Amino acid sequence: MVAFNEAYSALWKAYEGATELFHFRANGFANGWRILHDGPFEITIRYVPQRTLVTNIYVSAVLIFILALFVYLRARSSKSVAREVAYSAPRWSGLLAFGILGLVSLVPLLWFREGTLITGADINFPLDPLARFGNRLFAWGVSANGGVDQSSLFSSLIFHGVQALFAAPGFALVWVERLELIFWNALLGASFFIFIRELIGKRWSVAALAVTCFWLFNPYRIVMWTETNVATLAGSIALPLFLVTALKVFRAKLNPHSGGVLIGMILLLGSGMGLNPPIMVLTLGTALLFYLGGLVRTWRKKSARARWLLFGLFIFVWSGVLNLFWILPFTVALVASAQASSGLEGFQLLNWVEGLSRDTSLWNVLRLQGAWDWYQNYKSEPYIPYAKIYRENLALITISILPFALSVFGLIYTRQRWWIGFALILITIGVVFGMGVHEGALGIFGWASEHIPGFWMFRSPWYKFTLLTTLGYGIAIAFALVALKRFIRSTPVYHISVLALAGLFIAFGFPLLTGSLFPTKTERQELNNFHVQVPSYVFEASRWLNQQAREGKVMFLPKDAAYNYTWGYGSAGDVTF
């Protein structure tokens, strides 16, 4: 027999030539294969998911290049079938909007304190981004204990690839983190601005800017950045890009094939959604809802229906071709989670959600303030120090009602009936299920947990469903600002009013401007702070461990632990490797 000291997994295969060897569990934890003859012999050991990853990465890379070239050449040689609409927007409005968006994208620079990284808790920023990215290229993680299957983490390749891209030139680690956050924040704003601008028209650039400020500075976004939630960030970028692409195809500004290719690339960019199945389901579910709505709208026109169906076919084909390397492991992980979910079904799921729904009242959820840690303390110390200001400051309480009020105004006054329905569905689902089991929502959430397959995955409802609420609010607010022009005839006064509203949205998200979303050491007594100055010996230990021969293993005891260090770092993930 031959023993291979990695934790046993049926996906490890061994071959002698073309013959697969009999596989069994050796020494209680490792992989063993039976060999029926004496040596010498040559054995090849493979981890099956690795071949899937490598093959699909090569295929995706080649196809991305070919398809990008195809789209570029086609764009140069063809003319859009869409009719140009004459706009009388001020020349400066578009430049002003893009200029402000550019400045807003730099907001993450305000979060840092001199000489420190932002890490800890759920953030776990890698101290060696190149090594982290290299590790994610392998389906089996060998760093510690008996090894572990990490094929479900293939969806994080783009996210960690951006970190590695900024680390490769040799920038200081703190600047790698800053550049990474600026990059994603810029994409977050640009994707939504492009969508809203296409939705309401280019002449409404100032209105689109104001709506984008809401998108970037609302309380849900503050919570997302506090955790650096990769899945929510990816979904918040990919969903507007999907909608603007589909909208262009619907309006015949983009042909179905090019639209399908772009959707495939957008899904690749947003592949980080795969790290959190509920966010993935909600994002793709919203995209599917939009597509089905478009199918209904085009059904009576044969040519439009054919174009839309063709668009759907190309979405399916190119999304699969470009993303199979992470979609397949994601699906396998989702099925495995479903099989192991019996412990959180029915009443046990409701008991779990009850703790997170203690403060998700209708009042809080409508104002996007349903995060449990905004209302809870650890001993006598609040988890979120600035949350008290939102609860007690009369001006902030008043402003917090504004997104909902504007949404109602927009839904009443817009003439876009289909968009009214779409936004209403998003807001209703987001609010009702975002409340979890709080008060009147208990019956609805309880019924869903018992009758909707897979609903067990929504174990933190507000954090997931509020993505839909913010998107619905954003669409409705866009129409509200367009309708506002009926009441404000003077164009300069209108622009000043909308820009003032944008400023109000930005000011409301003050923790993003002051950096207070990441508490400092002086603001923490019991809990770890987020601003960490990593001692040099940590890097030295990491280098030493990574340079050791691979014959042995490093065993962590106990296996599951939180890592809290005297120099300030605290997280469920270790920093050593």
Q: pLDDT value at position 81?
A: 32
Mean pLDDT throughout 109-118?
90
- What is d(CA 333, CA 151) in angstroms, rounded to the nearest whole number? 9
State pLDDT tens for residues 253-300: 999 999 999 999 999 999 999 888 899 999 999 999 999 999 999 998
Whole-prediction pTM:
0.87
State pLDDT tens for residues 316-342: 999 988 888 888 877 776 676 666 554
* Lowest mean pLDDT across 133-147, 235-249, 253-267, 431-445: 133-147
Residue with tokens 């063993």: 32
Amino acid 130 reads L
Higher pLDDT, 58 or 390: 390
State pLDDT tens for residues 130-181: 988 988 888 887 766 677 888 888 899 999 999 999 999 999 999 999 999 9
Distance from chain centroid for Cα 425: 21
* Lowest mean pLDDT across 118-127, 235-244, 358-367, 542-551: 542-551
DSSP string, 86-107: -----HHHHHHHHHHHHHHTTG
Q: pLDDT value at position 540?
A: 86
Mean pLDDT throughout 390-413?
93
Reduced to 3 DSSP states, what percent helix, strand and coil does the chain have, rounded to the nearest 5?
65, 10, 30
CA distances to 145, 224, 227, 456 from 353, rounded to whole Å, are: 32, 19, 19, 10
Distance from chain centroid for Cα 303: 36
Q: pLDDT value at position 64?
A: 65
- What is d(CA 277, CA 370) in angstroms, rounded to the nearest whole number? 21
Q: Which helix (H) or strand (E) holds 118?
A: strand 117-118
- What is d(CA 101, CA 217) in angstroms, rounded to the nearest whole number? 12
- What is d(CA 5, CA 131) in angstroms, rounded to the nearest whole number? 22
List 564's β-bridge partners, or say none: 570
First to last CA, the chain: 32
CA distances to 11, 155, 295, 316 from 250, rounded to whole Å, are: 44, 29, 10, 17
Amino acid 287 reads A
pLDDT band at residue 83, thresholds of 50, 70 and 90?
A: very low
For residue 68, report the phi and psi dihedrals to the nearest 5 degrees.
-65, -40
Omega of the bond leading into 40 within 30 degrees of 0 (cis): yes
Strands 12-16 and 22-26, how do they pair? unpaired
CA distances to 119, 149, 521, 568 from 377, rounded to whole Å, are: 21, 36, 17, 19
Mean pLDDT of the chain: 85
Higher pLDDT, 349 or 277: 277
* Residue 93 predicted with pLDDT over 80: no
* For helices 205-217 and 219-227, angle between their N-to-C axes, nearest 10 degrees: 50
Q: What is the DSSP letter of 15?
A: E
Counting residues of the chain whose pLDDT is more than 70, the rounded percentage is 86
CA pseudo-torsion sign 261, 265, 268, 270 = negative
